[in-house]
Amino acid sequence: MKLTKCAIALGSNLGDSLATLKSAIVTLNNTPEIAVKSHSSWYQTAPVGPPQPDYINACAILEVALQPEQLLAKLLEIERKFNRIRREKWGPRTLDLDLLLYDNLILETPTLTLPHPRMTERAFVLVPLAEIAPDWVHPVTKSAIAQLLQTADSSGVQKLPL
């Protein structure tokens, strides 16, 4: 099977979030049929949703030999390994892995929408994604990620020191 370039978002705001995210990158890279090609810096971001701690977010570029639904299943499996429990929509979490882009595919199924339906509204996704894939063209808006970031309010997104 040919390799497909994908973009994912990573987030955490429970426990040692930075350690969790670093471990998630290693876990992804050690997962058969997934190779992590790059990942962004780590960003502290204000939460969306109910009151909760700030998040640490990042994005990663993957090359995968999986179909979109198979990749989604692997991401959900990795979330479970890191004790992700889904209690409330947009609630706090140990690990969140969102499939943002699967090459230039536009897809809508009962369990997966590509590109991610809210990614263009979220600075906590666009800031780290623009760092590693500024020229990737969003298949629906036809705008590059760097262009989408220009219209987002990124005031709640701060790069963590190395």
CB neighbours of 96 closer than 8 A, spacing ≥ 6?
A: 9, 10, 11, 12, 79, 84
Q: pLDDT at position 107, please?
A: 98
pLDDT tens over the chain, length 162 residues: 689 999 999 999 999 999 999 999 999 999 999 999 999 999 999 887 778 899 999 999 999 999 999 999 999 999 999 986 666 566 688 899 999 999 999 999 999 999 999 999 999 999 999 999 999 999 999 999 999 999 999 999 999 987
How confident is the model at residue 159, as a pLDDT?
Answer: 97
pLDDT (tens digit per residue) in 104-148: 999 999 999 999 999 999 999 999 999 999 999 999 999 999 999
Contacts with 44 (C-beta within 8 Å, 6 or more apart), sequence order: 54, 55, 56, 157, 158, 160
- pLDDT the model gives residue 49: 77
| Residue ranges of domains in the chain, CATH in brackets | 4-159 (3.30.70.560)
pLDDT of the residue at 85: 67
Question: What is this structure's pTM?
Answer: 0.94
Please report where in the chains the tokens 């977010």 appear, as a residue.
Answer: 57
pLDDT for position 105: 98
CA-CA distances (angstroms) from residue 102 to 42, 69, 105? 22, 11, 6
N-to-C CA span, the chain: 37
Known catalytic residues are: 84, 93, 96, 98
